[in-house]
Structure 1
Amino acid sequence: MTGGARPGPLTVAHLSDLHFGCHAPAAAATLAADVAAAAPDLTVVTGDSTMRARPGEYAQARAFLERLPAPLLVVLGNHDVPLLSAGRLLVPYERFRWWLEPDLDPRLDLPRVRALGLRSMPRWRWKNGRVSRRQAALLAGFLGTAPAGAVRLLALHHPPSAAGAARIIGRARLLRAAAAAHVDVVLAGHTHLPATRRLPPGGALSRAAGGGHRVLEVVAGTATSLRLRGAPRSWTVIRVDATHVYVEQRVEAAGEWRTAGTVSHER
């Protein structure tokens, strides 16, 4: 960098719900190259890398993740825990830690971004999430002390915006910690439906979060799963500059990827 030029936007590739074992081979075969073409500074996968947490599925997921641009942050999803076996009770996270990521709350401290992943899937819930007091404290301590100007990014499988039966246990403490730490973007998955919204949405939740900072939540669709829920397979490119966050949705048809639209939000 010369002449006092400023670096371009920070680029984050956000994938979710790969569901290897129930995936579209054409999408999986072309996805890594499409991600690489975006030249991300960071690649994030927000859970459900496998369909049923079987060793063969984990082997497929690992082979795919090794093709993605590094550095890579991967978090656990509900499908990454064995469904009906003694392993769910005794060693629920063993395969995920062996095949994909040994740290269940992984951290990355890079020159332009500080990123934290949280395990939002406890062994005792069927599919919905929880964030503990320890994790909220970790969020506050790690992201809240990021250097000035660094993008503060949080990743977990379950969207904090989920309501009703899908609501995360501990959501209020998560929102308070994220707002206090001035988190720029929360990345999530789980729903297979891409969405971008501010957290908290307002009212009592806004008061619970404290202060005037409102975190941006970006939920990625499923990138390779055969289980579609009214939306095509997709992943997101997130670009963050000094004033805005730009979210571009990349959608797939017959193994080919294209941009479906881009939205921007003030940072």
Structure 2
Amino acid sequence: MTRIVHLSDLHFGAHDERLVEAVEWQADKLKPDLIVISGDFTQRARTEEFREACEFLDRLRERGHEVLGVPGNHDVPLYDVLRRFLSPLARYRRFIDDTLCPFIELPGVAVLGINTARSLTFKDGRLNRDQVEFIRETFARTSGETLRILVTHHPLLALRVGEEVERAIGRQELALDAVEESGVDMLLAGHNHHALSHDAGDLVTRAGGVLVVQAGTATSTRVREQEQSFNTIDIAEGVATITVHAWKSGDFRASDAQRYEWQDGRWRILKSAESAH
């Protein structure tokens, strides 16, 4: 079995230190093969916020955890206009990862991160043609039996969050090309501070059977109708179990688990169950 812990929207600078400590403790307890962080490491892309995020990553790695992350829109300076347009991700590269398209292969699973944050947009993200080609080329080098996971900060598809529908990533057709032509099996993202898992075919016909997995905010004080949370993704023999660990009574508790099985080219729900973690 391969286990991934999926964190998102840490927002150092607007974080709760209790939650940071609890995430570290849970990571040790859950023993994941990989920790994925889908963007928004900081609240306003300030140096001190990136330094706090870097120290968090250092502590995870010192405990033996492998980490893959991508930038979010909050990791691009908002009010420092010169830096926003001349060197938008310089601090991210310095403190988090010089690579904006990290790639890791685990037994039977390949995980690729792609940067969707842009200087020209305050909130929204997008992919470009070079990134789509990079996705194709990277996954083409993996075995046909490998489960392929694409990580972005912004959801590639429009999703309902509470009473509102969050719009899809810019240039969605390019994004769907990347998913379809690269044989992507699972999309991990954050951005809207709302945990969910969904068969993408129910959202956009062209998306086929790819599984959409959204993580809530793990450590931020900025919540939207849901408490803070993170996901575990357990993958074994064509079955993926997505478990939401929500912040309740001073700790993260496994509150919901959904099992999906790969059948006839798409993920199909097996059942909801209480997590065994």
Same fold (TM over 0.5): yes
Q: How does 1:215-226 map to 2 (within 5 A)?
A: 215-226=210-221
Equivalent position of 1:73 in the other structure: 68
Against the structure 1 CA distance between its residues 240 and 165, is the aligned structure 2 distance closer, same or farther, given a 3 Å change threshold?
A: closer
Equivalent position of 1:6 in the other structure: none
Equivalent position of 1:31 in the other structure: 23
- Aligned residue type for 2:173: A
Match of 1:56 among 35, 41, 48: 48
Equivalent position of 2:272 in the other structure: none
Match of 1:142 among 132, 138, 141: 138
SS in 2 for 1:66: helix
Match of 1:160 among 156, 177, 181: 156
Tell me, yes or no, if the aligned pair for 1:156 and 1:187 is still in contact at 8 Å.
yes
Report % sequence identity: 34
Equivalent position of 1:14 in the other structure: 6
The Cα of 1:199 is off from its aligned counterpart by 1.9
- Aligned residue type for 1:62: C
Against the structure 1 CA distance between its residues 254 and 224, is the aligned structure 2 distance closer, same or farther, given a 3 Å change threshold?
A: farther
- Alignment of 1:118 with 2:110, yes or no, is no
Tell me, yes or no, if the aligned pair for 1:29 and 1:255 is still in contact at 8 Å.
no
The Cα of 1:165 is off from its aligned counterpart by 6.9
The Cα of 1:229 is off from its aligned counterpart by 0.5
Please say which of residues 112-121 and 224-233 is displaced more in the overlay: 112-121
- Aligned residue type for 1:135: Q
CA distance in 1, matches of 2:190, 2:166: 16
CA distance in 1, matches of 2:221, 2:54: 19
SS in 1 for 2:136: helix
Equivalent position of 2:162 in the other structure: none
Match of 1:263 among 221, 242, 258: 258
Please say which of residues 46-55 and 22-31 is displaced more in the overlay: 22-31
Please say which of residues 32-41 and 13-22 is displaced more in the overlay: 32-41
Equivalent position of 2:36 in the other structure: 44
Equivalent position of 1:170 in the other structure: 171
Equivalent position of 1:96 in the other structure: 92
CA distance in 2, matches of 1:109, 1:165: 31
Q: Could you list the runs of 5+ residues in structure 1 that have no partner in the other structure? A: 1-8
Q: When the two structures are superposed, what TM-score results if normalisation uses the length of structure 2?
A: 0.86
Structure scoring higher RCO (CA < 8 A, sep ≥ 6) equals: 1
State the aligned residue count. 253
- Aligned residue type for 1:56: E
Against the structure 1 CA distance between its residues 20 and 117, is the aligned structure 2 distance closer, same or farther, given a 3 Å change threshold?
A: same
Equivalent position of 1:206 in the other structure: 205
